[in-house]
């Protein structure tokens, strides 16, 4: 693992931001560094260590993060859209409100990660480990979870309600339950009225009644926004 001083790191970040050169920090020890708000789009960070680093609001779009270590790191509100996180370690990582749409997390370890208010649309989590992760109010449209490994998860904000409550998921059970969800498109040609809200609530209640396995996904998406 390569070492780098704070001054060297800041110089490289400035060069990268200027567009003069795409930086390569692969196999570099960046643990416990303050990289909040850092611009790292398309950088090569393969197998770098970000353990306990502060990456809040960092721009990591389309970045190579395969094999990177983010154990206990803070990635709150970071943009990781399209990033390659194949085999990355994200154990107990703070990722709430981060963007991971179209990201690749194949075989990543997300054990006990904070994934609240996340955007997983079209992300590939095939073969990943999500034991004890919290998915409160996250978006999963068209995500890929083939072969995902999961003993239990949390859907509530406080990690108080274990799912399943008194056992572990069977092998392949999480995938079968959550690989897809029913989608309903509403078109309000004459504007949205209180009656429309009642009709939506009635429709969603019927979906839950007919499919109790969806009870933990109490999210209605209106115009791209989530509501509990």
Are 124 and 222 in the same domain?
no
Are 55 and 164 in the same domain?
yes
Are 201 and 147 in the same domain?
no
Are 142 and 213 in the same domain?
no
Name the nearest CA neighbour of 84 among 38, 44, 128.
44
Q: In angstroms, how far is CA 169 from the centroid of its own chain?
A: 21
- The answer to whether 41 touches 21, Cβ cutoff 8 Å, is no
145 burial via Cβ count (<10 Å: 0-12, 13-18, 19+): buried
As given in the structure block, the two tokens for residue 176 are 């079968």
Are 116 and 163 in the same domain?
yes
What domain count does the chain have?
A: 2
Are 175 and 185 in the same domain?
no
User: Does residue 210 have a pLDDT over 70?
Assistant: no
User: Does residue 71 have a pLDDT over 90?
Assistant: yes
Mean pLDDT, range 87-108, rounded to an integer: 97
Last residue of a domain, one of 142, 162, 180: 180
Which pLDDT band holds residue 198 (cuts at 50, 70, 90)? confident
| Lowest mean pLDDT across 29-33, 38-42, 62-66, 189-193 | 189-193
Position 225 scores a pLDDT of 41
* Domain extent at residue 205: 181-228
Are 175 and 188 in the same domain?
no
Kindly report, residue by residue over 58-68, the tens digit of the pLDDT: 999 999 999 99
Position 221 scores a pLDDT of 47
Share of the chain above pLDDT 90, in %: 72
- Other CB atoms within a 10 A radius of the CB of residue 169 amount to 20
Q: Rounded to two decimals, what is the model's pTM? A: 0.79
| Average pLDDT over the chain, rounded to an integer | 88
CATH number at residue 4: 2.160.20
Q: Rounded to whole angstroms, how far apart are CA atoms 147 and 226?
A: 27
Which pLDDT band holds residue 223 (cuts at 50, 70, 90)? very low
Are 47 and 112 in the same domain?
yes
Are 62 and 117 in the same domain?
yes
Last residue of a domain, one of 140, 165, 180: 180
Position 224 scores a pLDDT of 42
Spatial CB neighbours of 128, under 8 Å, sequence gap ≥ 6: 105, 106, 107, 108, 109, 110, 145, 148, 149
Q: In angstroms, how far is CA 228 from the centroid of its own chain?
A: 19
Are 91 and 185 in the same domain?
no
Are 172 and 190 in the same domain?
no
Which pLDDT band holds residue 191 (cuts at 50, 70, 90)? confident
Q: Which residues on neighbouring strands pair with residue 139, listed in sequence order?
A: 119
Are 175 and 187 in the same domain?
no
The residue that leads in pLDDT, 208 or 130, is 130
């Amino acid at each position: 693992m390569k070492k780098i001083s704070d001054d060297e790191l800041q110089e490289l970040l400035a060069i990268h931001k200027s567009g003069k050169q795409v930086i390569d920090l692969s196999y570099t020890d960046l643990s416990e560094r303050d990289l909040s708000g850092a611009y790292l789009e398309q950088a090569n960070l393969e197998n770098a260590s970000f353990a306990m680093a502060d990456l809040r609001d960092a721009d990591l779009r389309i970045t190579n993060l395969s094999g990177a270590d983010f154990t206990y790191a803070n990635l709150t509100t970071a943009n990781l859209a399209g990033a390659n996180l194949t085999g990355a370690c994200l154990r107990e990582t703070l990722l709430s409100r981060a963007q991971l749409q179209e990201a690749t997390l194949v075989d990543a370890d997300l054990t006990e990660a904070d994934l609240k208010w996340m955007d997983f649309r079209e992300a590939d989590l095939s073969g990943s480990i999500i034991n004890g992760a919290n998915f409160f109010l996250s978006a999963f449209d068209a995500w890929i979870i083939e072969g995902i490994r999961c003993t239990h998860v949390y859907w509530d904000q406080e990690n108080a309600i274990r799912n399943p409550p008194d056992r572990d998921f069977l092998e392949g059970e999480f995938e079968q339950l959550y690989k897809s969800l029913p989608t309903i498109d509403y078109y309000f040609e004459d504007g949205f009225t209180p009656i429309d809200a009642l009709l939506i609530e009635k429709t969603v209640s019927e979906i839950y009644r007919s499919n109790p396995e969806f009870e933990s996904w109490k999210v209605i998406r209106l115009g791209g926004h989530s509501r509990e």
